[in-house]
C-alpha cells in the first residue's frame, strides 16, 4: 500500500482513539498508583502490615502520568479506513502512539502496545535505627525520594528493627509489608514494602526447598511474593541476602544459596513470565568462576547447625557444583535472568561507596529484559549532577546516603504487559 493511504489510515486511527477516550488524558494527573487484587492477608512475622498513610509512594514524576486507563481501539481494516483493500491486506492497528494514550503509569511500547510501568527497588539497609534517629530519618528520606511501588530490603536487624520497619512502612506510605523470620545464623531479615497488595508470600528455607527435614544450608531465609498492578500481568519478586566474605567456605555457601534461589523461582516460562530477583549478593557479577572451579566436598569449618541438603550433596557428587553463584541464575534453559545495567548518575557502578564494589543487583526475566527497563544506583552525593530517572522531590543533601546505610539502593522502572 502506498504512503499516502498509510497516512490516511494512521490519521483515521488517531481520530478514533480521541473519540473513544474522550480526551481524558488531560484529567487529574496525581492519583495513587497502588492497585491490583485484594491483600492476601500475609503478615509473616511481627504484625507489620502498615496503615495506608500516603498510598502514593510509587509516583515519582506525577506529571508524566495520565489518569485514564486506555481502552483498546477497535481493529479497523483497510476497507474501513480508505475504502479499499481486502481482508488479506487488513492491518492490526496500534493501540497507542504516545505514552499519554496508555493512561496512568502507561508507556507506549514497541509496536504501539501499551505497557504498565512499575518501579522496583532493592536496598541493604544496614539496620533502620529508632524512629527519630539520624539513620531512620535518612532511610525514610531516601525511600521517599525513590518513590518505588515495591521496595525490597535486606538487614532488618533484630526485634528493634522489626518495630522500626513497621513505622517506616507507615511513614513512607506502604500499606502492605512482609518480613522473614530470623534465620539460624543471625538476626538479619529480608523484607518487602509495597504499595500494591502482596499475594503468594512465601518464606523459603532449605527444608522447604529440599523437602528434607533438618536441611539448613541457607544463611538467611529467602522471600518471594507476587504483585498484580491493575490491568497488568502479575510480577513475582524474590529478595535475597547472600553470605558475605571471600573465603572458600563463604563462596561455598553463596553457591548453595544460588541453587536454592533457582528452586524458589522454579516453574516459570523464561520467555513469557515476569519475575525479578533482587538483593545483596556479596559478589560482583563479573568476577566469574572462582577457585576451586568446582566444589567436590564442603570446605572445612562449616558452622555448627549448617546441614547440607541431600539434593545439594548429589549435585556436588556429580561434579556440578560450580563456584559461581550467578551461573545458576543466568543459565540457559533455567531462569535465564538478566542483570540490569544500573549505574549511578555520573557513571560509577559501585553500590557500596566504601569499596566501590557493585554487589547489589536487580535481575529480571528475559521477558522483562526484552522491554528495555531502565535502572539506576541512587547516591545522594550525585544530586547536584541532575539527570537520571525521575524521582520524587525534594532532592537530598550529599551526605544522606552514608547516614542511612553502607549500601546504595538500586531501582528500576520495569514494563509489564497489559491483560
Look up the CATH number of the domain holding residue 343: 3.60.10.10
Question: Would you say residue 48 lies in a domain?
Answer: no
Indicate whether 53 belongs to any domain: no
Examine residue 281 and state whether it is found in any structural domain, yes or no. yes
Domain range for 297 is: 113-417
Question: What sections of 130-267 are H helices per DSSP?
Answer: 134-146, 158-172, 206-210, 248-264
Q: What is the DSSP letter of 32?
A: -
Alpha-carbon distance of 188 to 154, in angstroms, equals: 7
pLDDT tens-place string over residues 9-52: 333 333 333 333 333 333 333 333 444 333 333 334 434 444 44
Q: Global pTM?
A: 0.80
Residue 23: per-residue pLDDT: 34
**Max CA separation in the chain (angstroms):** 80
In a domain, 71, yes or no: no
Looking at the domain assignment, is residue 408 inside a domain? yes
* Chain segment 213-232, per-residue pLDDT in tens: 999 999 999 999 999 999 99
172 falls within a domain:
yes
pLDDT in tens, 50-78: 444 444 454 444 333 333 333 333 332 33
The total number of structural domains in the chain stands at 1
What mean pLDDT comes out for the span 139-159? 97
User: Residue 269 domain-assigned?
Assistant: yes
Residue 245 CB partners (closer than 8 Å, separation 6+): 282
Query: Would you say residue 190 lies in a domain?
Result: yes
Amino acid at each position: 500500500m502506498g504512503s499516502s493511504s498509510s497516512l490516511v489510515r494512521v490519521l483515521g486511527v488517531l481520530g478514533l482513539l480521541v473519540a473513544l477516550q474522550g480526551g481524558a488524558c488531560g484529567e487529574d494527573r496525581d492519583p495513587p498508583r497502588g492497585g491490583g487484587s485484594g491483600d492476601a492477608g500475609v503478615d509473616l512475622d511481627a504484625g507489620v502490615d502498615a496503615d495506608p498513610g500516603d498510598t502514593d509512594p510509587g509516583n515519582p514524576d506525577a506529571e508524566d502520568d495520565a489518569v485514564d486507563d486506555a481502552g483498546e481501539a477497535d481493529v479497523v481494516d483497510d476497507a474501513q479506513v480508505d475504502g479499499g483493500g481486502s481482508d488479506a491486506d487488513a492491518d492490526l492497528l496500534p493501540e497507542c502512539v504516545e505514552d499519554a494514550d496508555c493512561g496512568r503509569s502507561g508507556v507506549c511500547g514497541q509496536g504501539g502496545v501499551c505497557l504498565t510501568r512499575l518501579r522496583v527497588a532493592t536496598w541493604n539497609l544496614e539496620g533502620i535505627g529508632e524512629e527519630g534517629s539520624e539513620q531512620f530519618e535518612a532511610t525514610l528520606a531516601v525511600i521517599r525520594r525513590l518513590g518505588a511501588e515495591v521496595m525490597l530490603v535486606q538487614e532488618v536487624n533484630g526485634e528493634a528493627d522489626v518495630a522500626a520497619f513497621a513505622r517506616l512502612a507507615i511513614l513512607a506510605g506502604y500499606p502492605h509489608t512482609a518480613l522473614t523470620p530470623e534465620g539460624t545464623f543471625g538476626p538479619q531479615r529480608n523484607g518487602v514494602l509495597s504499595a500494591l497488595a502482596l499475594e503468594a508470600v512465601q518464606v523459603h528455607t532449605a527444608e522447604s526447598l529440599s523437602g528434607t527435614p533438618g536441611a539448613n544450608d541457607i544463611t538467611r531465609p529467602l522471600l518471594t511474593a507476587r504483585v498484580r498492578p491493575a490491568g497488568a500481568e502479575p510480577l513475582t519478586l524474590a529478595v535475597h541476602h547472600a553470605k558475605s566474605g571471600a573465603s572458600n567456605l563463604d563462596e561455598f555457601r553463596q553457591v548453595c544459596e544460588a541453587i536454592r534461589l533457582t528452586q524458589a523461582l522454579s516453574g516459570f516460562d523464561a520467555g513469557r513470565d515476569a519475575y525479578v530477583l533482587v538483593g545483596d549478593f556479596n559478589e560482583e557479577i563479573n568476577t566469574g568462576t572462582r577457585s576451586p572451579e568446582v566444589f567436590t566436598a564442603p570446605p572445612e569449618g562449616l558452622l555448627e547447625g549448617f546441614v547440607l541438603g541431600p539434593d545439594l550433596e548429589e549435585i556436588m557428587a556429580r561434579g556440578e557444583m560450580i563456584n559461581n553463584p550467578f551461573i545458576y541464575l543466568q543459565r540457559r534453559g533455567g531462569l535465564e535472568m538478566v542483570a540490569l545495567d544500573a549505574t549511578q548518575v555520573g557513571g560509577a557502578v559501585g553500590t557500596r561507596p566504601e569499596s566501590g564494589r557493585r554487589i547489589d543487583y536487580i535481575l529480571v526475566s528475559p521477558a522483562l529484559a526484552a522491554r528495555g527497563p531502565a535502572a539506576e544506583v541512587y547516591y545522594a552525593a550525585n544530586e547536584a549532577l541532575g539527570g537520571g530517572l525521575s524521582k520524587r522531590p525534594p532532592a537530598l543533601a550529599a551526605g544522606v546516603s552514608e547516614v542511612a546505610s553502607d549500601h546504595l539502593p538500586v531501582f528500576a522502572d520495569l514494563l509489564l504487559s497489559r491483560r
